[in-house]
A and B are shown apart, each in its own frame.
Chain A
Amino acid sequence: KNQVEQSPQSLIILEGKNCTLQCNYTVSPFSNLRWYKQDTGRGPVSLTIMTFSENTKSNGRYTATLDADTKQSSLHITASQLSDSASYICVVSDRGSTLGRLYFGRGTQLTVWP
């Protein structure tokens, strides 16, 4: 069964600290993996998209890694800010259909305290 599992479910860190969020998936075949940031009451906004051949991609203070062999990804946030408080969602796309089906994780709820 194609699944996307994220950990931890929630995380609290102090402003300025770094953190790493994890994503494990069983989706096959694999096309790409995305990390989204979703603020409360808003739609998700894309942070990074990685295909099979990419193992790291950065977007400012966000760095995503991908190990397609172990089917794991991580999102590292450097020097956290209060505005980083949000849900971070891992999404994996397969290439087994014309739809390019997306599989969503439940997200990690990050809270940054001052």
Chain B
Amino acid sequence: EADIYQTPRYLVIGTGKKITLECSQTMGHDKMYWYQQDPGMELHLIHYSYGVNSTEKGDLSSESTVSRIRTEHFPLTLESARPSHTSQYLCASTGGQGYEQYFGPGTRLTVT
């Protein structure tokens, strides 16, 4: 099993709250990614990073922001949660020239 972790696993929060979803990996991977996945739907890339201090927006427009201050840590922040943010958020990483993308267990977010 991959050494990539996400916390919390489940979160129920009220509209307007600020939240941070944590993602960390102990594999020393340079590339990290955040995906959003609704039930029965494909994964959509919302943010990615090629290394420390490198972050880019993905294909799906998202009101979230990310930071990459340390190689192993790639947190995602929502400044003001809305019900439309209810979804599963998956973090992933890839190392070196390899193709393999390792996924974390995901955070299931519900905004009421």
Contact = CB atoms under 8 A, between A and B. Distances in A.
Q: How large is the interface on B (under 10, 10 to 19, 20 to 34, 35 or more residues)?
A: 20 to 34
Contacts, number: 46
A106 B99 contact: no
Interface in B49-106: 90-92, 99-106
Chain A, interface SS category: strand
Interface in A1-56: 4, 31-32, 34, 36, 41-46, 49
Interface residues of A, number: 22
Interface in A93-111: 93, 99-100, 102, 104-107, 109
A106 B45 CA distance: 14
A50 B86 CA distance: 34
Given A46-B102, A104-B44, 5 more contacts: A43-B106, A44-B103, A105-B42, A106-B41, A109-B40
